């Protein structure tokens, strides 16, 4: 069993990462699949002053479930058992944290493959994850 | 005010709006979350209108007030504090949030109160950066509108990817505070004509002060756990109230 962590954000790129895992499974690789979505924290002191903690958590859950939904549906259709995870934090740090906690033997994620300008502006979460994780990281465009 | 001074002030105002205006959008969206679908757009619309109106009124008063002796010094002290707070991690035990309302006017009320509190820091900073130039103030408000409405996602992503942006923002607030302090009419009255370089020296000192104190305090603050796991199976339509710690 290869412990596999898929990081998804609901984008087409991350769904292609899911498809890649489905192909590995179809080829006969036995995997313990974990699907993770990371929400960027929205709460500053101000937000917490005006919005209940429950409402903030509800917001994370709603956004997270939406991001996970199609990825998990594809895994279900392929008959791949998986565990869902939702967390709030710095995106790359959190993916690395889960990879370590789960002792993931591979991490699979989408890469946006943005243009040079957007890449320079926003950088790439994928690059940061590679730097932080010891396991092999597969990037899917 | 010559063209380059104007452009620099514009850039400063945009930076301030990005750093201090982003959470306003988050509050508006969250406060309207419980509203029925049909009313949500209305709630968000009136929340944004309120946020803009509150900013216009407050900045108008702030610019008038800053012309009075000593108040620029006070504003400078406030700005240094706002800058330092920007650099600190959030306290965990901070506040009891207001209950999210499920009717339209309750939500709008929450949003307006939030607008007043949350635009205060923004207003002082923009008034400081605009040097009393109302054209700049109006421009600053116009720029902050799209950021309030659409920008929060982008701002959050930017801060997630580049935490250094926040340090830069703190330094900028310190810089504005420094320039503001020496342009106070009471200061000029005391020391007579001040040399031109003093404004820059004071600004630099303000920037260094904010970053140094902010970093030092942030270092001393015990950092909270950075990864928070959210349970996936709490029903999203659950009745309000504490739901307890679900694993």
> Which two three-digit tokens encode residue A70?
């199609």
Return the top range by mean pLDDT from A38-42, B14-18, B201-205: B201-205
- Does the distance separating the beta carbons of B229 and A54 come in below 8 Å? no
Give me the total of CB pairs closer than 8 Å, taking one residue from chain A and one from chain B. 126
How deeply is B106 buried, as exposed, middle or buried, from its count of CB atoms within 10 A (0-12, 13-18, 19+)? middle
Residues facing A109 on adjacent strands? A7, A139
Q: Does B94 touch chain A (CB under 8 A)?
A: yes
Kindly report the nearest CA distance between residue B85 and chain A, in angstroms: 10
Spell out which residues of chain B touch residue A98, defining contact as CB-CB under 8 Å. Answer: 227
- Does the distance separating the beta carbons of A53 and B227 come in below 8 Å? no
For the sheet with A106-110, list strands across it: A137-140, A106-110, A2-7, A31-39, A82-88, B228-229
Q: Rounded to whole angstroms, how far apart are CA atoms B114 and B183?
A: 31
CA dihedral B235, B236, B241, B242 (to 10 degrees): 60
Reported as type and span, the H/E element at residue A120 is helix A116-122
Contact B66, B72 (CB under 8 A): yes
Q: Does B246 touch chain A (CB under 8 A)?
A: no
Shortest CA distance to A78 belongs to which of A25, A20, A140?
A25
Angle at B47 (CA atoms; ends B43, B48), nearest 5 degrees: 120
What is the average per-residue pLDDT within A121-126? 69
Return the top range by mean pLDDT from A43-52, B98-107, B181-190, B204-213: B204-213
* Cα-trace Rg, chain B: 20
pLDDT (tens digit per residue) in A14-43: 999 999 999 999 999 999 999 999 998 876
Q: Is B160 helix (H, G, I), strand (E, B) or coil?
A: helix
What is the average per-residue pLDDT within B139-168? 75
Q: Does B222 touch chain A (CB under 8 A)?
A: no
Shortest CA distance to B60 belongs to which of B127, B14, B13, B120?
B127
């Amino acid at each position: 069993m290869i412990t596999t962590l898929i990081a998804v954000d609901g984008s087409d790129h991350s769904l292609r990462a899911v498809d890649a895992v489905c192909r590995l499974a179809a080829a006969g690789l036995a995997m313990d699949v974990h699907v993770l979505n990371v929400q960027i924290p929205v709460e500053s002191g101000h937000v917490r002053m005006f919005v209940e903690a429950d409402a903030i958590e509800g917001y994370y859950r709603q956004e997270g479930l939406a991001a996970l939904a199609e990825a998990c549906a594809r895994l279900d259709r392929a008959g791949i058992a998986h565990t869902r995870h939702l967390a709030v934090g710095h995106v790359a740090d959190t993916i690395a944290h889960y990879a370590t906690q789960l002792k993931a033997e591979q991490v699979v994620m989408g890469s946006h493959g943005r243009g040079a300008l957007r890449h320079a502006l926003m950088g790439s979460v994928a690059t940061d994850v590679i730097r932080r994780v010891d396991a092999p990281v597969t990037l899917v465009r | 005010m010559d063209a380059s001074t104007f452009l620099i002030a514009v850039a400063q105002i945009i930076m301030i709006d990005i750093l201090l205006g982003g959470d306003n959008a988050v509050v508006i969206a969250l406060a309207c979350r419980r509203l029925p679908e049909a009313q949500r757009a209305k709630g968000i619309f009136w929340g944004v209108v309120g946020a803009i109106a509150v900013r216009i009124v407050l900045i108008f008063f702030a610019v008038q007030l800053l012309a009075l002796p000593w108040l620029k010094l006070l504003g400078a002290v406030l700005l240094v504090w706002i800058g330092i707070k920007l650099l600190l991690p959030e306290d965990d035990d901070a506040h009891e949030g207001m209950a999210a309302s499920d009717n339209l006017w309750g939500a709008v009320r929450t949003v307006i109160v939030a607008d007043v509190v949350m635009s205060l820091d923004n207003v002082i900073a923009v008034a400081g950066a605009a040097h009393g130039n109302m054209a700049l103030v109006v421009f600053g408000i116009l720029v902050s509108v799209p950021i309030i409405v659409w920008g929060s996602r982008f701002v959050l992503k930017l801060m997630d990817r580049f935490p250094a942006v926040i340090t830069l923002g703190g330094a900028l607030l310190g810089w504005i505070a420094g320039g503001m302090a020496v342009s106070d009419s009471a200061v000029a009255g005391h020391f007579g004509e001040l040399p031109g370089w003093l404004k820059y020296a004071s600004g630099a000192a303000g920037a260094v002060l904010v970053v140094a104190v902010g970093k030092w305090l942030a270092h001393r603050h015990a950092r909270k756990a950075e990864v928070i796991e959210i349970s996936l199976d709490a029903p999203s339509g659950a009745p309000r109230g504490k739901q307890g710690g679900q694993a």
